[in-house]
Amino acid sequence: MTAGSLLLAIRGPVLLITLGLLMAADQLDRMSFSRTWPVLLILFGLFKLAEHLGPKDEGVQDR
Amino acid sequence: MRRASLVAPLLLIGIGLLFLARNVFPEMQLLDYLAKYWPLLLVVWGGLRLLEILFWAATSRPLPARGIASGEWVLVIFLCFVGVSLHAVRGFSQWLPGSRIELGGLDIFGENYDYALAGEKPATKTPRVILESFRGNARITGADVETVKVTGHSTIRSLDQASADRANEQAPLEIDGDTNEIHIRTWQNRVSGSNRRISADLDIVVPKGTTIEAHGRSGDYDINGVSGSIDISSDNASVRLEDIGGDVVVDVRGSDILRAVKVKGSVELKGRGSDIDLQDIAGQVTINGTFTGNSQLHNLGKPLRIITPYTEFSAEKVTDMRVTLGNLNASDLTGPVRMTSSRSWDVALTNFTSSLDINLNGGDVDLRPGLLPLAKMDVRSRAGHIELALPQGSKFDLTATSTRGSVDNEFGAPLKLEPNGRRGSTLRGSNGGPSVNISTDNGQILVRSAAAADSALPESKLPKTPAVPAKPPQPVEQ
């Protein structure tokens, strides 16, 4: 098991939790989802970025 | 081997328990909770999955390639749609105050709650009764009484009983004023907000001599046996009046039917609506507006006047007249009859003795005067056939001209055909009667002698004019 596969595995659940929180904020009239949805995009981007950085570390360690 | 996640079964069990709970405790408002808290379902789902994965990672078990499989995402999106629409339906009042769309929620989820209404107030023999900002159905009956008595019920459509109770308290039935002028208020306009809708069914018994005035948003009025005048204005109302002694004024923005039977005074109908049914009206009748349904007018003793944006019609007396979608059929009209229209009309008139003046943009005209002596006639249809059936022994000074069509003479002498221009023709002849002028630009004209069957309204001998070309289909205005 590596950090990369863990990252990949928790991406879905974390995004789902965020989506739920944003929806809840929308529901309680705190912040409309139409304004907060880019958070999901950013989060997804962060995960992708981490994935991109992750395997490199792995490669270095493997060598 | 990839381990199956425990989360999906857990969620399924949870949802099953929720619905079971609702079935066991029906008063639990599951939909309300779901509408409010469904995002937490996503959070719990994601959280459980996260814990599961972290647990697997900590115990060095193989991790799934994806924390949430694509099938699960589809389910998530579906859940979002359901949640958002549930929320929209349940809580529109916060989102779009004053909007009318939210009624969908009420229609689907709301229930009707009924509350009895009753009240009574002494009155003189000829009071004025004013029904204010009313929504619902009112049946008003004149009787030999000296009170105004209201019974009925108020129907409140609401999502829950408490809200309906509050609405009912806000909108009590109120009868006040003195014995000469009585106001009936239902205060339905106080019930605001989009999560409730209120209407009332009232049965009102008034003294025979009552004058009635009603203003409302929507609903039906059924008024019977009142000798005063009636004045109704409403955004949307169907009105049925019978046995009315005074003048009637009805002003509606929309209506399924306006019916008045046995009215001693005048009748004035204004606004927009569909069907009109008038019978035995002793006074003058004015119809001013756009009424697109079937109109039937029987036994109007005084002049009739119809004014629409495109058409004007007037006659002195009407025995039987029907107006339907661009068709006007009348028998036993007393004139002078005048009709002008910038639209197309098929007009059929039988048994008329007074003068006729018709000018239409199009449509077929079928005239069977039936009775002698013939009256002066001036008839023009820009595009359409005109047929005139003259009784035997008619005296006339006739000119019938078609600019681009044939003119047929089936009457015989003294009428004579003269060519007119390249394609048209003119029929002329006189035996010393009133002038009869018939003309069309584009259509045939037939002048014939009347047969015995012509007093009724059989089919015309001429083929029907096809719809006037070069103009898009238009809503028919009467």
Please compute the mean of the pLDDT values over residues B196-202 and round it to a whole number.
82
Average pLDDT over residues B172-180: 85
Per-residue confidence (pLDDT) for residue B240, from 0 to 100 = 93
Contact B80 A13 (CB under 8 A): no
For position B94, what pLDDT does the model report? Answer: 44
For residue A61, pLDDT over 60 is answered with no
Rounded to a whole number of angstroms, the CA Rg of chain A reads: 15
CB-based burial label for B142 (10 Å; 0-12, 13-18, 19+): buried
**Nearest Cα to A43, choosing from A14, A22, A20?**
A14
DSSP state of B246: S
Supply the Cα-derived Rg of chain B in whole angstroms: 35
Residue B347 tokens, joined: 């007009």
For residue B69, the chain A residues in CB contact (below 8 A) are: 12
Closest CA to B359 of B327, B335, B384: B384
User: Which H or E run includes B175?
Assistant: strand B174-177
Does the pTM surpass 0.80? The reply is no
Mutual orientation of helices A3-27 and B30-58 as an angle, nearest 10°? 160
pLDDT of the residue at A24: 85
Please name the residues in contact with A41: beta carbons below 8 A apart, sequence gap of 6 or more: none
Angle of CA points A53, A54, A57, to nearest 5°: 90
Q: Report d(CA B159, CA B420) in Å as an integer.
A: 75
**pLDDT at res. B431:** 85
Distance from CA of B2 to the nearest CA of A (A): 13
Q: CA B292 from chain center: how many Å? A: 8
* B475 pLDDT above the threshold of 80: no
The structure tokens listed for B477 are 């205005």
Most confident listed range (B52-66, B78-92, B191-205, B277-291) = B277-291
pLDDT at position B100 = 39
| B106 closest CA partner among B167, B35, B159, B161 | B159
Q: Is the pLDDT of residue B476 over 50?
A: no
Q: Do B80 and A6 touch (CB under 8 A)?
A: no
- Indicate which of A15, A17, A28, A37 best probes the interface with B, i.e. most B CBs within 10 Å of its own CB: A17
Cβ contacts of A17 on chain B, cutoff 8 Å: 42-43, 46-47, 50
State which amino acid sits at residue B280. D
ipTM for the whole complex = 0.76
Share of chain B above pLDDT 90, in %: 22
Residue B326 φ then ψ, to 5°: 80, 10
Between CA B78 and CA B341 the distance in angstroms is 57
pLDDT tens digits, A30-49: 777 888 888 888 988 888 88
CA B355 to centroid of chain Cα atoms: 34
The amino acid at B327: N
Least reliable range by pLDDT among B20-34, B293-307, B344-358, B368-382:
B20-34
> What integer pLDDT is reported at residue B297 of this predicted model?
93
Q: Do B46 and A19 lie within an 8 Å CB cutoff?
A: yes
Confidence of residue A62 (pLDDT cuts 50, 70, 90): very low
Q: What is the pLDDT of residue B478?
A: 46
The per-residue pLDDT for B244 is 92
Q: Is the pLDDT of residue A17 over 80?
A: yes
Q: How far apart are CA B171 and CA B202, in angstroms?
A: 14
Average pLDDT estimate for B280-284? 93
Those residues with Cβ within 8 angstroms of residue B422's Cβ, 6 or more apart along the chain or in another chain: none
Quick one: pLDDT at residue B96? 42
Residue B284: pLDDT above 90? yes
Closest CA to B311 of B335, B278, B336, B287: B287
Residue B247 has a pLDDT of 93
Which residue range forms the structural domain that includes residue A50?
Answer: 3-62
Of residues B406 and B469, more confidently modeled:
B406
Q: Cis link prior to B414 (omega < 30° from 0)? A: yes
pLDDT at B229: 92
Most confident of A12-26, B7-21, B182-196: A12-26
Distance, first Cα to last Cα, chain B: 79
pLDDT of residue B192: 65
Q: Which residue has the higher pLDDT, B18 or B150?
A: B150
Write the pLDDT tens digit of every residue in B140-160: 999 998 888 999 888 888 777
pLDDT at position B90 = 60
Percent of chain B at pLDDT > 70 equals: 86
User: How confident is the model over B195-203, as a mean pLDDT?
Assistant: 81
Tokens of A11: 């991406």
Has residue B356 got a pLDDT over 80?
yes
What is the total count of domains within chain A?
Answer: 1
Looking only at the bridges linking them, the beta strands covering B174-177 and B230-244 are unpaired
Chain A environment of B77 (Cβ under 8 Å): none
Q: Looking at chain A, which residue has its C-alpha nearest residue B50?
A: A13
CA distances from B228 to A20, B255, B267, B318, B444 (A): 66, 23, 13, 24, 51
Which one is predicted more confidently, B361 or B160?
A: B361
Chosen from A5, A23, A28, A47 to mutate, greatest number of chain B CBs within 10 A: A23
Q: Name the average pLDDT for chain B.
A: 82
User: Do residue A20 and residue B46 have CB atoms under 8 angstroms apart?
Assistant: yes
| pLDDT attached to residue A54 | 67
* pLDDT at res. A63: 38
Residues of A with CB under 8 A from a CB of B: 1, 5-6, 8-24, 26-27, 29
Å between A63 CA and nearest CA of chain B: 22
Give the number of C-alpha atoms closer than 13 A to the C-alpha of residue B183, restricted to the C-beta side. Answer: 9
> Position of tokens 């004007």?
B312
Which pLDDT does position B281 carry in this prediction? Answer: 93
Top-confidence residue, B221 or B193 = B221
Beta partners for residue B417, in sequence order: B427
Confidence of residue B421 (pLDDT cuts 50, 70, 90): low
pLDDT at residue number B474: 45
* Arithmetic mean of pLDDT, B292-319: 90
